[in-house]
Amino acid sequence: MTPADFLIGYIADALLDGDADGLRADTPLIELNIIDSAAIFDLVHAVQGEFGVTVPLQEITPANFGSVDAITALVDRLDREEKSLR
């Protein structure tokens, strides 16, 4: 399962009553009111648990959580940064 697949499944299950119809990696999550500020924090928790990265508070922005593609890019970047510190 790819990160995008996990995220689409999580968003569909947690926020769309299991309905992933029309939900793609480039769907504008905030613009379409699929996620709001409270849901972003639930999503952050899921991302941290699933991918083993820490999402700093300053990274919790509409730009980083505006789409599955944006979240995936954030996870990839945070993972690279954390690995470079080890």
pTM, two decimal places: 0.93
Tokens of 28: 């504008």
Tokens of 8: 């689409």
Tokens of 81: 């940064």
Mean pLDDT, rounded, of the chain: 94
Domain count of the chain?
Answer: 1
25-51 pLDDT, tens digit each: 999 999 999 999 899 999 999 999 999
Tokens of 79: 């993972």
The CATH number for 27's domain is 1.10.1200.10
More confident residue, 86 or 41: 41
User: What confidence score (pLDDT) does residue 37 get?
Assistant: 87
User: What confidence score (pLDDT) does residue 50 get?
Assistant: 96
Residue 86 confidence (pLDDT) above 80: no
Helix 68-85 × helix 37-51 angle, to 10°? 50
Structural domain boundaries, residue 41:
3-85
